[in-house]
Structures are given as structure tokens and as C-alpha cells.
Amino acid sequence: MSHPASTSAAHAAEPEPSTSSLHATAVKTNAPAVAPLPLRFKIGTNHKKYLDAHDGKVFCHIPHRVITSPNAPSIPRPFVYENEPVQCRADGRYGYVDIYQWPQMFCEEYPWGVAYPVKGMYWETDPLARLWWTPTYADFVPLADTTLVIGFLSQEKRNELNKVQDVVKNRYMLYKKSKVPERNPRDQGERIMLIMRNNYNHLDRFPLTWRDIITAVAEFQRSVMECFAYFDYHQMILPSIQTPAFPYPEYNPYWLGAFTCDPGVAETLFRAGVPVWLIRHEDTVTANTSLLAKVVPREPEVVLAMFTDPVKHFARPFPVRYVGPSNYECSLACRRFLRQDQMETWQVTPTNAAGTSTAGPSMAGPSSAGTQSAPNRQAKRKQRANQKAPYPPSSNLLTEPQLRDSVTEGFKG
């Protein structure tokens, strides 16, 4: 199937697409209230040579709660109690409840979620900077001679995303050389690598609608982040949890971190150098608690507007996947992705019982085999057998939870 460099004449008379949808934002929730600090809060007083997980290198007061961090230099605003829907926005991400974009509550079933890469920590020339790139309608190349507005991401952009895939492959080779998969019988490293490749194949091999391309790019980026987080957790974080060395390492600014209400989880992440923020009642702060600096929670820079058709200018929101607080169900909803047959392209091109597609001859698919002769079908089978086929995932869940796996034992001590 060819990937044309220009649109067909049928699309030449269409109105200019709008680019304002990615910059529009919905109304944000109210900022945390400000109230006078209790008198027992002694700011700038350090009673110990080393801070522990209950102390605050920084802290903020949100009546009647206090958020402290023993290692991070700032505190992200927590969006962990709002019943915010998990729903793709105009950029294919989930706004400020996206587990890949903003710190959420620690999830024991997915402990490696604390190690997702952080936006802004990579140079523009680094391929990993593309993990936060959002395509524009100018990157969409529709197929010519078809009644369907489907096409591909431009070859230039696909090549850039392929460089990201190459970086992940090199990282996986280091992961295998470390012998970590051999020590973990439930290792999922290879599985999420194949899912990442499958997500890239959505973009590289299948003509999609513009709405599907937005989703496919975001899903590929999420699967890459899942790979890096999984590898870093098992190679760097888990050894520090199982065999801690005092003094604990400085926090790693390349990891996203997590909120928690459990002091034991805060201590465990602290000893591994993971950014952690402990949420607790203000009465648990005593005169012996070291509080070095009070800060204002920083706000996220995320897109909240819903998807809008760039040509016809009407809203087409993505479906809601979950509504509720930050917990296991929220984390699970963010990790689900679409199969090829669940994408819009396949839903608008039905086939009849005889196997003849209603999309016309330009849509390659199972229906085209019904009109081929036997020798042609055999040649096609041989050609498909010799080419690199996409890897279909075993489910539409990015990674399986490991609630009773040995990797979570460090959080239960």
C-alpha cells in the first residue's frame, strides 16, 4: 500500500483545519485552600542529621491535610480525590489524572509506575523527547482515490517515532544482560516490548482516521514509558528496596514519583531515591517533625479540551473509561489500549457475509482475498510469511498486575 505525499483532489476543497483545539482548556478545579498553619509547625527547623520519610524537605498545608516530601524539591498538586473521568483529551492523553503525565497515588499492583519518565528532562535532540510530542493535522497524509478520510502519519514523523523504538530496544538488551528476567519468573519485559512494537505497527502499517492517529500516537508513547519504567524498577529501584544502603540516595529527577497515605510505602520509596509525597492529617505533624520549607503545589500543564474534528469543527469526545479517585481501577483504565479492530477505521468499513468490503478497492483487508485465484492466494500467503508481521497482544491490557508477586514484598514489610 502506497503512502502518498499529498492529498487527493477530493480533499482540496475542504475548509482549512483548525489547530485551536489543542490549545483550548476546560475550566480547572479550584486551587487548594490556604489557611493559617498550626502553631506546632516549626518551619526551617531540622532536628536530625538525616531526614526520614515522615519529615519534609518541602511541605504544603491543605486543610486538614499536610503533604510532605523527604526528598523532592517541590510538590505537584494532587488530583487524587476528585472524581475526574479517565477520558482521552484532544491530545490523546488523560489530562491531570494521566498516570503517565502527573503523579498519582501509589498502586501496589503496578509498583513500577513510580518510574515513568518526566517531561522536560530530555534535550530536544534526544529521541525520547518525542514521548510528549503531539501530532498536528498537518502531519496527516490522507489516502488518495478513496471515499474514506483515512491515511497515515507522515513518513518523517513515523521515522522519528521509530528512533524512539530503537532506543527502547537497546535498553531492553541491557535489561536482558542484567539477568533480571532470569530471576523473576513473572517477568513481563518481553511482553511489553512486543506490545510497544504492536502499537507502532498501528501507525506504520494501517491506514487510520485522524482521530485514531491521535490515539495511536499516545498509546505508543505510553507503551514506551511503560517499558522504561518496568526496566528501571527491576534494575534500579527494587535492588535498593531489598538491600537499602544508608544514607539513602538523592531523588531521581527522571522518575515521576507517587503520592501515598502509607508511611511504610513512603519509607520504601524514599530509600530507593524515588520522589514520594506523603499525604496525612495535619494532627500527625508534631514538634519533632522537621519541616524545612513551605511551598505552593505546582500546577500541571496539560490539555483538558475534548477532541474536535479539524475539518468540520464539531466536538467528538473520546469515551469515558473510568470515573473515580486515583486507585487501582484508575491505573487499570489508563493502561488499556485499542486493538486494530476496535479503531474507528474498522468500525466504518463493514464487510458483508460474502467478504466484500463496502469501502471500495482501495481498502486492503480480508475481503480482497475473496476475488483472488488460488495461485495468487498462495503467493500472498508466502509473502506474508516472509515479512515481519505485527505482534498481536494477548490482551488489550498494557501490563498485568503483580499483586502477589515477590517484587511487591518490599512494600509490605
Predicted TM-score (pTM) above 0.85: no
Give the dihedral of Cα atoms 380, 381, 386, 387; nearest 10 deg: 70
Check pLDDT > 60 for residue 41. Answer: yes
Residues of the chain above pLDDT 70, percent:
71
Average pLDDT over residues 324-330: 90
In the numeric block, which cell numbers belong to residue 15? 475548509
Rounded CA-CA distance 128/254 in Å is 12
φ, ψ of residue 163 in degrees (nearest 5): -65, -35
Nearest-CA neighbor of 91 among 134, 137, 44? 134
What pLDDT, in 10s, does the model give residues 59-108?
998 888 999 999 999 999 998 877 889 999 999 999 999 999 999 999 99
Check pLDDT > 60 for residue 17. Answer: no
Rounded CA-CA distance 183/329 in Å is 29
State the angle between helix axes of 210-232 and 155-177 in degrees (0 to 180), rounded to the nearest 10: 20
pLDDT for residue 402: 66
Please state, rounded to an integer, the average pLDDT across all residues of the chain: 79
- Following DSSP, what letter does each residue of 45-107 receive, concatenated? B--SSS--TTSBSEEEEETTEEEEESS-SS-BPP-SSS--EEE--TTSS-GGG-TTTS--B--
> What's the angle, vertex CA 301, arms to CA 297 and CA 305, rounded to 5?
125
Rounded CA-CA distance 99/334 in Å is 7
Average pLDDT over residues 50-57: 89
pLDDT for residue 148: 81
What pLDDT, in 10s, does the model give residues 370-392?
344 555 656 655 554 444 433 33
pLDDT for residue 183: 78
Check pLDDT > 90 for residue 399. Answer: no
Cell 528532562, residue located: 121
Decide: helix, strand or coil at residue 397: strand
**Which pLDDT band holds residue 411 (cuts at 50, 70, 90)?**
low
